[in-house]
Amino acid sequence: MEKMPFHESDEIRDVHAVMIAAATEVTSTDWRRKLPVLTGSLATLRELRLSDAPALLAMLSTEEVARFISPPPTTIEGFERFIAWAHRERATGGYVCFAVVPHGMDTAVGIFQVRQLEPGFSTAEWGFAIGSAFWGTGVFVDAAKLVVDFTFDVIGTHRLEARAAIANGRGNGALRKIGATQEGVLRKSFLRDGEYLDQTLWTILEDDWRRSRTPGATRVH
């Protein structure tokens, strides 16, 4: 999550390229046009809506959520710009951001982002944040499984990376729990509040994920 964009620096895009990409890839890669709705046992994942901005501001801008991630926007307008940016990036085919909506609710309580690390999305990085009222409820695991399935099955990624500051106990615990493998430490790789933090690099390989999905295999404990 730490490296995932909560910024707008990539905003200036070639509009024509976006339109052409959206128009020509529709049949093979519909997700570039609009994300599908993914339904889990506790929550639904769907495209972000501009109307999610107030709820996301309330959920993600608290100190405990934002502590180890790139600083989220601090206003509703800032979240609206982020959501508009996420839609444009998705249309280019290099990024997706799902809103997490627990069953029985209409608004988002968190997000899952996945971005390609190279053209073609063969390797990717994911990041996530959920409002603290929903921590420990099972919503994370439920949503994470849907996102990882989508990344391997639909986008076609074969290696999914995540970075978590070593000091981020819940972030590391969540990645361990979902079955990610700890590959190493990225020393002083994340600047937060004027301090460079070490991060753990966690990965999930498509083959391992598929094996763990087979009946009888243990994945999430």
Ligand X SMILES: CC(C)(COP(=O)(O)OP(=O)(O)OC[C@H]1O[C@@H](n2cnc3c(N)ncnc32)[C@H](O)[C@@H]1OP(=O)(O)O)[C@@H](O)C(=O)NCCC(=O)NCCS
Residue ranges that bind ligand X, judged by CB under 6 A: 1, 65, 68-69, 127-130, 135-136, 140-141, 162, 164, 168-174, 177
68 versus 150: smaller Cβ distance to ligand X: 68
Closer to ligand X by Cβ: residue 89 or 161 = 161
Residue 117, SS3 per DSSP: coil
- Least distance between ligand X and beta carbon 94 (Å): 20
- Shorter beta-carbon distance to ligand X: residue 94 or 127: 127
CB of 175 to ligand X, least distance (A): 7
CB of 130 to ligand X, least distance (A): 4
Residue 30: DSSP 8-state = G
Residue among 86 and 141 whose Cβ is closer to ligand X: 141
**Helices assigned H by DSSP within the chain:** 15-24, 53-60, 63-66, 76-92, 139-150, 169-178, 206-213
Least gap, CB of 13 to ligand X (angstroms): 26
Q: How far is CA 22 from CA 39, 92, 139, 159, 209, in A?
A: 25, 7, 31, 25, 29
